[in-house]
Structure 1
Amino acid sequence: MMESVQRIRYPSFDYSNIDPSSIPIIEVIVRSDSKPPTPFRIGNEEGWMVEWRGKKTGDDLLPIIDSVTTTATLPFLMRTRDGWYIEPDSIHAIARKLIAPTVVILIMSLLLHAIAPVISQNSILLQSYQIGPLDYPLLLLITFPIFVLPIIMRSFANYRDINNQNYYIQNPLDEPEIDLKIGNGNVTINSMKMPEGVIVEAARLQVGVAVPERASILKALDRDENEQPPPGMSTPLPERRIASVEEHGTGVGEAIPMPIAHSRVLILEPLRVCSRGELVNLNGGGSCTLQGPEERWPGSIYSSLIALHWELIVYVQRSGAKMQWVKPIIMQGPEEEINIEKLPLMSSRAEISEK
C-alpha cells in the first residue's frame, strides 16, 4: 500500500460570507494501491486550499483513510458532468441583482412613510388610495410592485427552464461526433459534427476540484453521521440525488434552479473550485486548440477527498434555448511540483455562474 497526505479546506456553499480560517483544514493519510500524483498545492493556509503531498515527519498521527486513487473519472461525475445540459435562463441572474436594491427601496418607503407627518402635512408621502373598505399608503402601492418584481422574474425564468427541460426530454439529442487530441494542458478539436438543429457557438477547457465525499470528511473529522455536521455542511437530503453538493450536504438545495424529475440532472451544477481556459468562438467551425488555465494545473486525479477534474464544454443553441455539451477529459499532469497561491472560486449557483 502506498501512503500520501491530503490537506483540504473546501469552500462551503455560501463561501463569500465565511472566514476560511474559521474552518479547520482536513488532514488525512490516504492509503491506496496506486501511486499518488506529483505533489501539488492550490491555495494557502489562511484561505481555501487543496494539497496533496508525500508523508513527512509528524504525519503519523493523522487519520488514515483507505481510498481508491485513479485517473479514471469517478462514476458520480460521469452521471452529473457528462452529456447535454440546459443553461439556466439569463433572467435568473438579472433578478438576483435586483433583490438588494428592491429591498432597499421598500425599506426606505416604509421609513419615509413613518416620518412623513414630521416632514410635511401635505406631502405625497401621506396620500393614500382606497381599495375596498381600506386605505393604503400611495407610496407603498408604488414601491411594493417593485419589491416583488424579482420574484415575478424568477418565476418566469423557472417556467422557461422547465419548458426547455421538458422539450429536451421529449426530443433528446444524440452525442456529437468530435475528434479530439489531448495535449499538454490543452485540447485540439480536429473535427466536430453536431446533431441536426444544433448551432455551435463556442467552447472552452476548464479544470476544477469536485466536492469531497461526505463519508470521508466525517471520518477525517471523527464525526458521526447522526451528530451535528461540521462547519460548511448541512444534514444530507433524504431524497434521491439532485446534485452532488446536495447529496454531500453542502449545496443546501440551491445549487441548481428548478430541476425536473428525470433519470439525470439536466442543469449543470457549477464546479465551485474552477479555473477556466479562454473561451474560443466556434461560429466559423473548423479545427481549433483550446488552452487550459494560464497557471499550470495538475492532471486528472481522483480520490474520495480530492477529485481534480478536467472537462471540455461546448456552448450551443437549439430552438432558441442555450445548451452545453460537457465531456470529461483525462489530462496528463506535469512532472514538476505545482504551487498555485490562490484557489480559484466560482459561484455555487448555476444561474449566476458566468459563461
Structure 2
Amino acid sequence: MRVLVLDDAEMNNLLMVEALRPIADCRSHDFTRPADALGFAEAHAQDLGAILTDYDMPGMNGVAFIRAIRAMPALLHVPIVMVTSIEERRLRREALEAGATDFLNKPFDPIEIRARVANLLALSRALRQERAHAEILEREVAAAVATVEAREREIITLLMRAAEHRDTDTGNHIARVANYVALTAAALGFSVEECRQISLASTMHDVGKIAVPDSILLKPGPLTGAERDEMERHAERGQRILETSSSPIVRLAAEIAGTHHERWDGSGYPNGIGGETIPLSGRIVAVADVFDALTTARPYKQAWSPQEARAYLLDKSGSHFDPGVVAAFLSRWADIAAQLNSVSEAA
C-alpha cells in the first residue's frame, strides 16, 4: 500500500521515508507542496493506505490539507497522521475535528512511527476488505431481489393471461391502464419504485372477472339489472382472490381490485365508501380505468375522442373521481395523448 508523506522541509521527508522503508508491502511518496500531494492522493485513492502531514506549511497548513482530503469521498476513511512540533491542545482539537486519525511529535522516533504506520496500514487493509465484502453482499442481495421480483412479475403475467382468455381486449386494456396509472402516480409525487409497484399491481384490477359468466362478460348489448349485479361482484371477488397473498404488490392489487369502482361521492361499489376513505391506489386506477374504457371501442359502444373523455373526467371530478387524481392525470396530458396516438396508429 502507498503512504503519502507531506512536509515542506525536504530533510524531514527523507527521514520519514527512511523510517518507513522496513515496512513490508509499503511504498512511500513524499511531497513538499500540499497541492501536489492532493493531486497524488486523488489519483491513487484505491491503494493509498495512510497519510502523514506536517502542520506549519506555506499556502495551506496541515488542518486545511486534512479538510481537503476528507472532502474527497474516496479518501474519507484513509488514516491521517499529523506530525508536528507544536504542542497546542487547540491545534490537536482542530485537527481531530478536520479528520485527523493520530498525532506524532517532532522530532519523531523512527521505531515509533514505523509501528504506528504499520498498524494504520493494517487497519486500512481491514477496512478495504470489509467494504469489498459488503459490496459483494450488496450485489448478491440485489441479484436475489431482482430474481424474486422477476418471478413475481412472471406469476402476475401468467395470472393475467388466464384472464385474457375471458376477454379479447383484456391484455391491451390492462397495459394501457398500467401506463396511465404510472403517469398519474408520478404526477402525484410517487417515487420511481412506488410507480413501478402500483403500475404492476393495477394490471390485476379486473382479475375477479374470471368468475363472471361469458354470457354476461361478452354480452354485446346492455345488461339487465341481475346481470349488472353479477358483473359488479367482480370487484369483491378479485379482492378475495388476491388478499391472502404475502406479496406486497399482490396485496396492493387486492386493494385496487376491491376499490377501483368506488366513487368519490360514495355512490360506487362494492362497499359504497367515498372520499379519502377510498385508498389512493383505488382512486388512481378508477380514473385510468374509466378513461381507457371511454376511449376504446367495445361491442356495445363506439370509442370516445380523447377530448370527450377528458371533458367527462372534468365533469365527474368531485363526484365520481377524486379531484386531485383527475388533476394529476390531466397534468400528464401530453404523454397520455402520445399513448393514444400510438394505439390508434397500431390499430
TM-score normalised per structure 2: 0.22
Q: Which has the larger radius of gyration?
A: 2
- Hey, which of these two has a bigger chunk of strand by percent? 1
- Hey, which of these two has a bigger chunk of helix by percent? 2
The higher relative CO (CA closer than 8 Å, separation ≥ 6) is in 1
TM-score normalised per structure 1: 0.22
